[in-house]
Amino acid sequence: MQDERSPFQKLADLLDGVVPVNEKDAQPINMTIGEPRHAFPDFIPDVIMKNAQYFRPYPQMRGTDEFRKAVEDWLNWRYDLGGLPLGEKNILPLNGTREGLFHACVGARDYARSQFGKDTSNAAVLLPNPFYHTYKGAAAAIDAEQIFLNGTAETGFLPDLDELAKETDLLDRTIAFYYASPANPQGNVADIATWKKLIALARKHRFFIFADECYSELYRETPPAGILQACEGDFSNVVTFHSLSKRSNLAGMRCGFAAGDGAFMTQWTKYRNLVAPQVSMAIQAAAAAAYRDEEHVKENRMLYNEKFDAARRILGKELPYETPPAGFFLWLDVSAFGDDVTVAQKLWKEVGVRVIPGSYLAREDRSGVNPGDGFLRLALVGDLAETEEALTRLRTCLIN
């Protein structure tokens, strides 16, 4: 039976009562939580204050014209969509993408029944493995079978779509595929050809792609391709999810958006009007301002890239590691030093560095393989000095 505790609860239980031996001499460093700690844009408080009167009325689920226009302009600019109009039916504000990703699964089930004519009594939801645990919670909430598709070095740390295409019976009962690019935690990205292959599968077998692109702006050099680029103006079976949490360091503001298939979004909005949270119009105004500004995003990327440069310099050749194309996690192979759980314990006890075992972020697939075994996830969210200190302690602990 699978352990249903969250990764963070597992880690808390694992390290309960363990005190770092260097606690008196060195501050413990927490690299477990992917919570941005860089500065958010300095104009955000002013925008919120100027729109403070909008905290009084209930906001509309569809969002404000200003917010949708800012998102439409940003999507066209970022993904070179050629000025494609994305109207009210194609864009929805979200109270953080987490709630949107969760509720979308209910929408997919309902749409599969009413529009695709599918029998959802044996529905399947496809998840990358490792995965963001909200995907799993969403599939469990509608009692769908959860199918974990491993992302390993051999598959470019993304699900193998060629192998998946052979499983026609599974695909026919699939209602949704949560596909993360950049992958969380590995940071690998899908190219246009991969997106097109995935879209073709979704349309052939009548399921939805929920493209989690929340880390899309934290890239090293090349902006990752987006799923909307691959749609060529036809968004059927596709919904993309974006967030200001990572792009703009506004995790506490709880604002993102979903964009894509207008027919799905129209039906989903009816469901959301019953149960989902709206986004304050004042917050939408701040979000619109954030999407109109790229300077703070460039600064954010620069700060992360400095830390990845430090990782390459400090970890050297002794620790197997490749700089990911995007994201802010290190997905570090520590299998040469023991299993990932034991190594995580060792790092906390001996040098006061708290990290997540990779096996906690994944599940055994249908063949019994956990693709997180032997890996650690390190969130590079602290400042450069803290990151350098943490990585130096890690290297000293494991190598020296």
Residues of the chain above pLDDT 70, percent = 100
pLDDT of residue 1: 58
The average pLDDT across 324-350 equals: 97
Class of the domain covering 44-293: alpha beta
Q: For residue range 137-161, what is the model confidence (pLDDT) as tens digits? A: 999 999 999 999 999 999 999 999 9
pLDDT of residue 119: 96
How many CB atoms lie under 10 A from the CB of residue 324? 23
Question: Global pTM?
Answer: 0.97
> Same topology for domains 7-39+296-399 and 44-293, yes or no?
no
Domains in the chain: boundaries: 7-39+296-399, 44-293
**Where do runs of H (alpha helix) occur along the chain?**
7-15, 44-50, 65-79, 97-114, 133-141, 161-165, 168-172, 192-205, 227-231, 244-247, 262-275, 281-291, 295-315, 340-351, 384-399
- Asked whether residue 22 carries a pLDDT value surpassing 90, the answer given is no
- Asked whether residue 316 carries a pLDDT value surpassing 90, the answer given is no
Q: Which CATH number fits domain 7-39+296-399: 3.30.1300.10, 1.10.490.20, 3.90.1150.10, 3.40.50.10490?
A: 3.90.1150.10
Distances (CA, A) of 18 to 38, 217, 347, 349, 395: 30, 37, 11, 6, 21
Q: What is the mean pLDDT of the chain?
A: 97
Q: Which residue in the block uniquely carries the two structure tokens 């029998």?
A: 119
Q: How far apart are alpha carbons 159 and 282 in whole angstroms?
A: 39
Sheet holding 145-150, edge to edge: 91-94, 256-260, 238-243, 208-212, 174-180, 124-129, 145-150
How many CB atoms lie under 10 A from the CB of residue 137? 15
